[in-house]
């Protein structure tokens, strides 16, 4: 429970458990999105319509709540990452923008969203995510970052020639660098959080593709629906087992954000 000098956010505190569940959720987003658009042959546009509709409904529910609810939060994250998968695939493949063009466009949208959020509220710290306006900016930025991550993962794996395994190693190494900066440098923790949040998506995307893509495409050819089911169960178990506490904003009058 928050004290008089603390305010509870509506999003979870950033812990090791948070990042584990986040990476699994992004991997689920890849396998789940591919299940609908490819395995079920609904296509990227229909898949986007389905998952984006689910995301909008869950985000509206999340924003309407007064406090942090772990299962609702992670369901909304999963909906955003599956929508991000199909939206990125639709833009880069169906519309022909390409991975590079799609990644640059989406990076611009992420930065624009963060900039507008900062101008409107004064901070992009997740600890401040409580009021409806702030939370709307949060979920908009999340959606752009999830979509960007999908395009980045495909860009590295396909156009970059790294393959899915190589792409996963690249983004895993990048996250390790960010972790090092967090613990052993004076870099902004806010900037590092958003950089890590974005990079967990291509990590999950490349891992998901490695799991379910055909052998001749560098994958393991594992069943997409089965992978999606296994990941769903794993996430549910972790949300139940790992501590799920709201982020706390402390000492706002005396401590400037880093």
Asked whether the predicted pLDDT for residue 4 surpasses 70, the reply is: no
Share of the chain above pLDDT 90, in %: 61
pLDDT tens digits, 119-138:
999 999 999 999 999 999 99
Cα separation values, 165 from 86, 156, 203, Å: 21, 10, 10
CB-facing half-sphere around the CA of 117: CA atoms within 13 A: 24
Q: What is the pLDDT of residue 254?
A: 39
Contact 150, 88 (CB under 8 A): yes
Burial status of residue 242 (CB atoms within 10 A of its CB: 0-12, 13-18, 19 or more)? middle
Strands annotated E in the chain: 6-12, 246-250
Question: What tokens appear for 229 in the block?
Answer: 């089911």
Q: What is the pLDDT of residue 161?
A: 85
Rounded to whole angstroms, how far apart are CA atoms 200 and 19? Answer: 8
**258: number of Cβ within 10 Å:** 11
Contact 171, 206 (CB under 8 A): yes
Question: What tokens appear for 38 in the block?
Answer: 């490819």
Asked whether the predicted pLDDT for residue 256 surpasses 50, the reply is: no
The mean pLDDT value for 103-131 works out to 93
Q: Is this model's pTM higher than 0.85 or not?
A: yes
pLDDT tens digits, 200-209:
989 988 898 8
Q: What is the pLDDT of residue 124?
A: 94
Asked whether the predicted pLDDT for residue 252 surpasses 90, the reply is: no
Rounded to whole angstroms, how far apart are CA atoms 37 and 44? Answer: 5
Mean pLDDT rounded to a whole number for the chain = 89
């Amino acid at each position: 429970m928050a004290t008089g000098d603390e305010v509870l956010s509506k999003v979870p505190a950033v812990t090791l458990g948070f990042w584990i569940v986040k990476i699994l959720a992004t991997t689920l987003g890849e396998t789940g999105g591919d299940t609908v658009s490819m395995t079920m042959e609904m296509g990227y546009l229909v898949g986007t319509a389905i998952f984006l509709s689910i995301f909008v409904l869950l985000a509206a529910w999340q924003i309407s709540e007064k406090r942090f609810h772990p299962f609702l939060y992670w369901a909304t994250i999963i909906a955003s990452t599956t929508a991000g998968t199909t939206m990125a695939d639709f833009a880069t493949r169906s519309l022909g923008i390409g991975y590079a063009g799609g990644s640059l466009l989406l990076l611009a949208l992420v930065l624009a969203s963060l900039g507008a959020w900062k101008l409107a509220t004064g901070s992009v710290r997740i600890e401040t995510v409580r009021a409806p306006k702030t939370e709307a900016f949060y979920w908009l930025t999340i959606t752009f970052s999830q979509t960007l991550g999908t395009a980045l993962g495909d860009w590295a794996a396909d156009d970059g020639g790294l393959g899915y395994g190589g792409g996963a190693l690249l983004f895993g190494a990048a996250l390790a660098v960010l972790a090092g900066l967090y613990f052993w440098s004076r870099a902004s923790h806010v900037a590092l959080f958003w950089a890590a949040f974005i990079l967990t998506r291509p990590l999950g995307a490349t891992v998901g593709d490695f799991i379910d893509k055909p052998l001749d495409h560098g994958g393991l050819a594992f069943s997409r629906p089965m992978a999606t089911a296994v990941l769903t169960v794993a996430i549910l178990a972790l949300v139940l087992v790992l501590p799920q506490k709201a982020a706390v904003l402390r000492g706002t009058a005396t401590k400037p954000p880093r």
